[in-house]
């Protein structure tokens, strides 16, 4: 049987630890093509390059795998992969990651990892973003491989609804094994930002973004709960941001100006 074509990208850059593991696993399951940023692009969200040149170079970092490094954002990488690198070949799956850090809850909006996956969904391809909830420089990815493989196989077999990308987050390595997979909703939580005022050696001021993550969600069906309780969280995401439940009320309450 013909192997599925799998496009791999990320936001941590083509040399990151997470993408090496992801490419290794995807190579077991299909024909892999990698188009990833040439350097870190974390927190870029769904930004695209429109005012600067976009560069694309082949890279032999993954033996036996066609790989390209791109000067643009994660969304740029998926766009140029679909429309230039692969031309008339449509990937059967887009996977992004494995991100070095959490992309649960509101972080999905800022995430370059998930923006690569969502760009795949926009282009009509099933897509998955994988993230490990561990920011440590020596984070251990060894416990996630089997789950990456299992979830990918399931999506390749059954597909996804059109326009949907899965946001998959893994708990950090703990003393106990992962307890399983939970299909979740996005937790109602947010970042409470602080801007630290600092001065450079020339006396010019600058700001450093800091802050704390605040979880207001007390439910047990969300991604934050799943990670805290040592489950893999899987949240189906869509790019349609319409608040559909508000359309009816606005039509009713705004009838005097419509």
Would the annotation count 217 as a binding residue?
Answer: no
Is 79 among the domain residues? yes
Is 78 among the domain residues? yes
Would the annotation count 12 as a binding residue?
Answer: yes
Is 195 among the domain residues? no
37-90 pLDDT tens trace? 999 999 999 999 999 999 999 999 999 999 999 999 999 999 999 999 999 899
CATH classification at residue 37: 3.40.1210.10
Would the annotation count 60 as a binding residue?
Answer: no
Is 203 among the domain residues? no
pTM of the model: 0.94
Number of domains in the chain: 1
Tokens of 67: 């790989």
Is 152 among the domain residues? yes
- Residue 137 pLDDT grade (very low, low, confident, very high; cuts 50, 70, 90): confident
> Which residues span the domain enclosing 223?
5-188+219-253
Is 209 among the domain residues? no
Is 244 among the domain residues? yes
Residue 115 phi, psi (nearest 5): -65, -35
Is 145 among the domain residues? yes
Tokens of 153: 């196989």
Q: Which residues contact 55 (CB under 8 A, 6 or more apart)?
A: 38, 70, 71
Would the annotation count 42 as a binding residue?
Answer: yes
What per-residue confidence (pLDDT) applies to 211? Answer: 85
């Amino acid at each position: 049987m013909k192997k599925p074509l799998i496009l791999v990208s990320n936001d941590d850059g083509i040399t990151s630890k997470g993408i090496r593991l992801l490419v290794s696993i995807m190579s077991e399951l299909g024909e892999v093509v990698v188009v990833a940023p040439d350097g870190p692009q974390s927190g870029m969200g769904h930004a695209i390059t429109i005012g600067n040149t976009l560069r694309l170079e082949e890279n032999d970092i993954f033996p036996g795998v066609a790989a390209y490094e791109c000067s643009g954002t994660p969304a740029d990488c998926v766009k140029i992969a679909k429309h230039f690198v692969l031309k008339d070949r449509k990937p059967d799956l887009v996977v992004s990651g494995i991100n070095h850090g959490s992309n649960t809850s509101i972080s999905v909006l800022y995430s370059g990892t998930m923006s690569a996956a969502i760009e795949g969904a926009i282009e009509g391809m099933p897509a998955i973003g994988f993230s490990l909830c561990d920011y440590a420089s020596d984070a251990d990815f060894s416990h996630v491989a089997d789950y990456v493989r299992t979830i990918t196989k399931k999506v390749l077999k059954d597909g996804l609804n059109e326009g949907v990308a899965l946001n998959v987050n893994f708990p950090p390595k703990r003393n106990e094994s992962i307890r399983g997979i939970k299909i979740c909703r996005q937790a109602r939580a947010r970042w409470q930002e602080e801007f630290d005022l600092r001065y450079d050696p020339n006396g010019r001021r600058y700001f450093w973004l800091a802050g704390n993550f605040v979880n207001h969600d007390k439910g047990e069906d969300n991604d934050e709960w799943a990670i805290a309780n040592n489950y893999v969280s899987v949240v189906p995401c869509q790019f349609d941001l319409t608040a559909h439940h508000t359309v009816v009320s606005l039509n009713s309450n705004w009838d005097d100006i419509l």
